[in-house]
Amino acid sequence: MAENDTTGDWKVQGTTGMTDKQRRMLNAVCGDLAAQLHWHGNRLSKDDWRHMLCGTVLGWRMMPAIDRGEGAAGFIMLGGSSLKLSKTQAADAITVALQIGDHPEEQGLRAKRVQWSDVVLLGLGFNPHDFRVAA
């Protein structure tokens, strides 16, 4: 790998907090998912995708919702913050996001695969210009 080559920097492993490169890659894949996929009929924001991925990686907790005096409020699911992801967990979350974007049908989504942004393509080791259609 060349000294300035950052391909795969998001794949690092470890128990300490995720790196800035992982944070940027996670945000980029979540932004691409938000712009291009509906999750079972729901449009999720970039933050929604990040919360869903982090909850999936860190684990979910179900608990009663807040009762605001309007009767039974139901239940909510709590995940974890991306700020709590270790390097290994961040790499897992990014990998899950890429899998969803590349193969949405595996999640029961009727959607085309995501067209990844330049930031994501560079992080995957591709030259974005190779994916441009000549006019």
- The confidence score (pLDDT) of residue 57 equals 96
- The confidence score (pLDDT) of residue 26 equals 98
Q: How confident is the prediction along the chain (135 residues), in pLDDT tens digits per residue?
A: 333 445 678 999 999 999 999 999 999 999 999 999 999 999 999 999 999 999 999 999 999 888 888 877 789 899 989 999 999 999 999 999 999 999 999 999 999 999 999 999 999 999 999 887 765
Classify 14 as helix, strand or coil.
Answer: coil
Measured CA to CA in angstroms, residue 103 lies from 20, 60, 94, 111, 112 at distances of 27, 23, 14, 9, 8
Task: Give the number of other CB atoms < 10 A from CB of residue 35.
Answer: 13
- The confidence score (pLDDT) of residue 1 equals 36
- The confidence score (pLDDT) of residue 7 equals 60
Strand boundaries in the chain, DSSP class E: 38-39, 42-43, 61-64, 75-78
Measured CA to CA in angstroms, residue 20 lies from 4, 46, 85, 87, 95 at distances of 16, 17, 12, 10, 16
- The confidence score (pLDDT) of residue 62 equals 93
One-letter amino acid for residue 102 of the chain: D
User: For the chain, give me the number of helices (H) and strands (E)?
Assistant: 4, 4
Structural domains of the chain ordered from first start: 10-128 (1.10.3790.10)
- The confidence score (pLDDT) of residue 4 equals 44
- The confidence score (pLDDT) of residue 39 equals 97
